[in-house]
Structure 1
Amino acid sequence: MSADATETPFDEYREAVDRPLARLFREYAPGRLGWFSVGMAANFVARMASLVPPLLLGTAIDAIFSEGGDGEFSLPLVPDVWLPATESAQFEFAVVAIAAAFVCITVFTWIYGVTANLFAHGVMHAVRVDCFEKMQRLDMTFFDDKQTGEVMAVLNNDTQNLERFLDDALMNSARLIVMTVGIAGVLFYLNWQLAFVTLVAVPAMVAFTIWFMRIAEPRYVRQRSAVGRLNTRLENAIAGMNLTKTTSSEAFETERVADASRNLFDRTMDVLKLSYIYRPGMELLAGLAFVATFLVGGLWLAADAAPGPLTGALSVGDFVVFLFLTQRIVDPLAEVSNIVDQYENARASSERVFGLMDIPVHVDDPADPVNITPVEGRVSYEDVSFSYADAEGARTDTGAESDGEASFDGPVVDAVTFDAEPGETIAFVGPTGAGKSTVCKLLLRLYDVQEGTVRLDGHDVRDLARSDLRSAVGYVSQDTFLFDGTIADNVRYGHFEASDEAVREAATAAQAHDFIADLPEGYDTRVGERGVKLSGGQRQRIALARAVLADPPVLILDEATSAVDTKTELQIQRSIDRLTEDRTTLAIAHRLSTVKDADEILVLEDGRIVERGIHEELLERGDRYAALWMAQAGDREAAAEALADSN
């Protein structure tokens, strides 16, 4: 696998994220600390209550059940005057106290579970929404060359990893600390010498854990990246299913998905192989602590004397408590492996989350946007140039540029200048790749120019709030996108409060009402994902209806009739003519017949305007436009001659 194949869109920013989990708490814990604090407190009480039964059992063995019953009935932190004096009363007290401890454990474990989940899922919800909101603010250049599967991995997989960490790992860490400290305290209270024997494995566990975390971190990063690449491959394969089937490329796509899945399998196994060493190792160390306690304590009782350098006495009750609590400490210590596993996974995921959050937005609102209400619709381009190679480093007022990543070499728009007065139609024609669509997208600030100025009503579009600008400019693309929902929902998209009557009027104006009315559910017909249940022409008419409903003062038509037949095109063109009568229109056309009545026609090649004028003038000139016109009219020889003369 090449180095490039291991890179993800977020690596540059992910690597710059400092202490991602601390940042997660700093930015998302405030406002939810109440639930977190209650959960931690409940967890503490439940764990402390779990120490009571074995401690009472050991005390009862020594004071009540041992031969002679001469043991002292006492408990840590409980004054002796509070405890009963007779054996029968002591037995009853022990039974009631143990039952109460189990009830306490149940109640506070429930409280902990509810509050911990409220905290964890609340943070996950906020992170997911913030990630999506940031994604929507990112420049179009991000979506031009970034993979949507990577973004989906952040919004789904990575946020779920954070939830698991906050819900399970964090609370289990608190449980581990409370249990370890609590058990150690009880053991040292009962017999400090045997306690050292029991806890001798803890330093080794700490060292083993530190080693594991250092080795595991880069493996988790690679695993999370592999998840994103697999998501991207699956998303592309599903979106391109029609092409796959019509070209009999199922085997090829299966192989590509298999490669991505195998890469994820390999990265996951890299993590699991390390876990297969760490987890059994932790369990072994914890088990050795239990064996050491049983060995030393057993010898102590069997010989009725302290073995080796140890001194003093050990009662049967204390030995039973040691065995119980040592077994209790084995589980939380062995759980360290899962905690570290979830921690490393969450750390890698939080780096990707904040990597997305930290991607800079270049096309943003100015600090003090100009109010353009009402919009007249004057559009002007003044010596405008743009290159995708520098799109992320759009030139600022100071002339400084930030680093950008090249998508295409050379300028896509080169020194373009034109004016459109309110009510005028400016048409753009030219070969594929001439920069026609890009010119129009600069008006919407989907990209920012690197040189020159785009103005609306005399104001630089960079001085306007994006919402105001885009509300004033309607855009109908040749690549029509419909959301999964009803036809009515898609027509009123962006103007969600529009009435049903307004939706029908807009559809009628776009020549869409008749085919919608013929559908079984009419305007309530669901269009499917990306509008797959409709034809290309039907989707374009719905997009036109959406623009009619918006009623913008400026309209961009990017080959808006490219997917319809000639008859429908004529019908739609009449609607477009009515739609454009009183508004400024920028029309991109492949079929020149649709723009021959434009107020000015601009012919673009390689991003430059090479011809301009009205239809009749351009035909008389016999240059590039005339060649395009004759080629579409079927006179290819004349078109070739005109094109040769123009060159």
Structure 2
Amino acid sequence: MDAVDWDKDDPFEEQREHVESPMRRLLFEYGRPYWFSMAVGFGSSILARALDLLPALLLAVAIDAVFGDAVFHEQVPLVVLPEAWLPTTASGQFWFVAVVIAGSFVLGALFHWLRNWGFNAFSQDVQHDVRTATYDKMQRLDMEFFANKQTGEMMSVLSNDVNQLERFLNDGLNSATRLVVMVVGITLLLFWLNPQLALISLAPVPLIGVFTYVFVKKIQPKYAAVRSSVGKVNSRLENNLGGIGVIKSSNTEEFESGRVEDVSRKYYDTNWGAIRLRIRFFPGLQLLSGIGFVLTFVVGGYWVFTESGPGPFTGTLQTGTFVAFILYTQQLVWPMAQFGQVINMYQRAAASSERIFGLMDERGRIERDANAEDLEITDGRVEYESVSFSYDETDGSVSQETQRANRIIDDVSFEVDGGDTVALVGPTGAGKSTVLKLLLRLYDVDEGSIRIDDRDVREASLSSLRRSMGYVGQDSFLFYGTVEENITYGTFEASREEIIEAAKAAEAHEFIRNLPDGYDTMVGERGVKLSGGQRQRVAIARAVLKDPDVLVLDEATSDVDTETEMLIQRSIDHLTADRTTFAIAHRLSTIKDADLILVLEDGRIVERGTHRELLESGGLYSHLWGVQAGEIDELPQEFIERAQRRQARTDVDLDDD
């Protein structure tokens, strides 16, 4: 599969398209605070590489002056020293050169150490800041973003893409500095020593430039495809490991191994395409670099033998100068060949930077006002006024009829007095959860408004709004850690006494006390060491400890047995006292005592009232109650046909997803 196909499937393709100059942005936005370590790295690298060039030049001095007939103090590296400092005897000159060469190695080692410290400190600091900034941005994105991305894909950005930056910021910048210093330094020295022979030695450089340009144009899309394929492998592995229980119980290990093999093969093909191009480029680059060495050896060697310039060349070439040319040309081969490695690291880092900054630049539908004031709830009165919402953003080109057809919530209005309990019921896909997600501002309404104590929730700061809310869901997520850490999540400063009181109110204290380490018991990944009912009660204890003004219960007892449901319902009754509560329920027996029951169908409120009033009305609620009471034979045919149509629409939506 080629790179273009992978780009089409890249979940971050849309974000990447709008990123401009990702590497410049990386260095200026995240590298600027660490200018000192970067300056140390660059400065030390320049000095270290300059000192690396000194021994070959001193060797030429020794050959031409100490062993030949050249004037010692007139040699190139010595003209900066006063003549009085230089020895006059051959042995003195020999040991002087030896000491200077040894000193250059000692100083070079010091600067190499400083170079490594500078570049490593710079790369680690930038990498740390980028990772934390990317995660912070990611967790603040709208829920709509997470609904369209797989966990493995996002992990690929936070882990693989961020880690890819380190190699360039450390090895890449270091190698680039070395390359520039070596190429520029050697070029200047060669022209200083013998401009005519320098032209021969540097003849392949233009060819290397063209060769590298072609490589960059071809490799860039391939690396973007590789980064995308890594995310797909991570997504498949994360998905399978998360569902390992289902895989084992379904005896589908062979099937899942095949699916992992498929995504791994696609990654293999994509990565191997980039590798094939790379392994053809580097030997070719080294071959071009070697041409300069061969030309220098042939022309320079002939020049020394004949003691006169071959062809158009004039003058003489001393043996020491020829040796310096050979050594410098040999030193030039590796930096020129390494130039491809620098470009390789740069392109990989650029592809990763595009994905990182594409994510950072993601704009959500929820508008955040940095100057919004905190929400202060006094009565807890909640009002929905003509609220409509759809998950798909629309523009002016879409007709009103189409917009209305795509709505998940359509013209919903109701009022809740402070301290009352409101239940939302209805068939699957009716929009119950979406109604409450709008209250939490996990999404923003398209039309209408939601107010708490007469204040629009969009005018309050998000932190204060969500701080005032308590949420207990059907699938109570527990973090890896202890029972106490999960109860105090969000209320981190709570004392042990407050934690125990919250657990007692949630009917959780007794089972926690019987755990191996009590409140210090590790719950395992996602709380797997606890039963479903135990996890629910820990989640309720978390909500009790938070002491929210408004409580949201999303089918908090739907997946537990009858006895556990009784215990959980008791704890919920304690929790809902004297606070505004919203409860979503499929099991209608859990909400029959609610102050108000709203019945939703196709995103609209079709009935409202108390449990008794709705049963007496003989509408949708009474039919749903009849289903749960086992009175299926008494249900009207119209209700059954509507249920079949709703189920068909739900199946189509799931297939589309």
Equivalent residue in structure 1 for 2:97, among 70, 94, 97: 94
| Aligned residues between the structures | 637
Segment of structure 1 superposing worse, 22-31 or 33-42: 22-31
SS of aligned partner of 2:76: coil
Deviation string for 1:333-368 (max 9, x for gaps)?
111111011011011111111110111122132253
TM-superposed deviation, 1:159: 1.1
How far does residue 370 in structure 1 lie from its aligned partner after superposition?
3.6
Q: Deviations over 1:36-80 (max 9, x none)?
A: 1111110011011111111111111111123x6777662335245
Aligned position for 2:520: 524
With over 3 angstroms needed to count, the CA separation of the structure-2 counterparts of 1:367 and 1:317, relative to structure 1, is: closer
Q: Which residue of 1 aligns with 2:50?
A: 48
Q: Give the partner amino acid of 1:445.
A: R
User: Is it true that 1:310 corresponds to 2:313 in the alignment?
Assistant: yes
The separation in 1 between residues aligned to 2:238 and 2:76, in whole angstroms, is: 63
Greater mean alpha carbon deviation, residues 357-366 or residues 33-42:
357-366
TM-score (norm 2): 0.93
Q: CA deviation at 1:5?
A: 7.8
1:324 aligns with 2:327: yes
Q: 2:296 aligns with which of 259, 268, 293?
A: 293
Judge which range, 487-496 or 77-86, deviates more.
77-86
Gap change, CA 1:191 and 1:114, over 3 Å in 2? same
Corresponding residue number in structure 1 for 2:76: 75
DSSP-derived class of the 1:307 partner = coil
- Which of 126, 130, 136 aligns to 1:127? It is 130
2:614 counterpart residue number: 618
The aligned amino acid for 1:196 is L
List runs of 5+ in structure 2 lacking aligned partners: 644-657
Instruction: Tell me what 1:57 maps to.
Output: 59
* 2:14 corresponds to: 12
Q: State which of 113, 120, 133 in structure 1 corresponds to 2:116.
A: 113
Aligned to 2:646: none
Question: Which of residues 183, 195, 208 is equivalent to 1:180?
Answer: 183
In the alignment, the residues of structure 2 paired with residue 600 and residue 646 of structure 1 have an alpha-carbon distance, to the nearest angstrom, of 25
Residue aligning to 2:339: 336
Instruction: Find the counterpart in structure 2 of residue 450 from structure 1.
Output: 446
On the 8 A contact 1:6/1:225 being kept in 2, the answer is: no
Q: Does 1:414 align with 2:415?
A: no
Partner of 2:428: 432
Q: Does 1:604 align with 2:600?
A: yes
- Deviation (angstroms), 1:330: 1.1
Local SS of the residue matching 2:115 = helix
Give the match for residue 367 of structure 2: 364
- Aligned partners of 2:110 and 2:27: how far apart in 1? 27
Cα distance in 2 for partners of 1:272, 1:262 equals: 15
Aligned pair partner of 1:250 in 244, 253, 259: 253
* TM-score, normalization by structure 1: 0.95
| 1:384 matched to 2:387 | yes
Task: Name the counterpart of 1:507.
Answer: 503
Write the mapping of 1:562-577 to structure 2, written as runs, cut at 5 A.
562-577=558-573
**1:626-645 matches, cutoff 5 A:** 626-640=622-636, 643=639
Q: Which moved more, 1:561-570 or 1:359-368?
A: 359-368
Amino acid of the structure 1 residue aligned with 2:76: L
Answer yes or no: is the 8 Å Cα contact 1:618–1:626 preserved in 2: yes
Query: Does residue 217 of the first structure (1) align with residue 220 of the second (2)?
Result: yes
TM-fit CA distance, 1:6: 3.4
- Per the alignment, residue 647 of structure 2 pairs with none
Structure 1: 5+ residue runs without aligned partners? Answer: none
Secondary structure, aligned partner of 1:31: helix
What residue number does 1:533 align with? 529
Cα distance in 1, alignment partners of residues 325 and 345 from structure 2: 31
- Distance in 2 (CA, whole Å) between partners of 1:592 and 1:455 is 27
Q: Against the structure 1 CA distance between its residues 642 and 13, is the aligned structure 2 distance closer, same or farther, given a 3 Å change threshold?
A: closer
2:59 counterpart letter in structure 1: L
- For residues 128-152 of structure 1, the C-alpha deviation after alignment (integer angstroms, 9 at most, x for no partner) is 1110011011111001111222211
- Name the CA distance, whole Å, in 1 between partners of 2:353 and 2:94: 53
Change over 3 Å in CA distance of 1:577–1:196 after alignment to 2: same
Alignment check: 8 A CA contact 2:7 2:13 kept: no
What does residue 539 of structure 2 align with?
A: 543
Q: Percent identity?
A: 51
Tell me if the contact between 1:389 and 1:407 (Cα under 8 Å) persists in the aligned partners. no
Q: 1:99 to 1:622 in 2, by over 3 A?
A: same
In the TM superposition, what is the alpha-carbon distance from 1:12 to its structure 2 partner? 1.2
Counterpart Cα distance in 1 of 2:559 and 2:640? 31
Deviation at 1:207, TM superposition (A): 1.0
What residue number does 1:484 align with? 480
1:300-343 C-alpha deviation (Å, 9 max, x unpaired): 12222211111110111111111111111111111111101101
* Cα contact 2:161–2:353 (8 A) shared by 1: yes
The RMSD of aligned alpha carbons is: 2.2
Q: Tell me, in whole angstroms, the C-alpha distance in 2 between the residues paired with 1:589 and 1:615.
A: 13
> What is the alpha-carbon distance in structure 1 between the residues aligned to residue 238 and residue 208 of structure 2?
43
Q: Distance in 1 between matches of 2:5 and 2:337?
A: 37
Deviations 1:614-633 (A, max 9, x none): 11111122222111212212
Q: Which moved more, 1:373-382 or 1:315-324?
A: 373-382
Aligned to 2:230: 227
Amino acid at match of 2:568: I
Q: 2:583·2:591 contact (CA, 8 Å) conserved in 1?
A: yes
Q: State the alpha-carbon separation in 1 of the partners of residues 374 and 410 from structure 2.
A: 29
Partner of 2:654: none
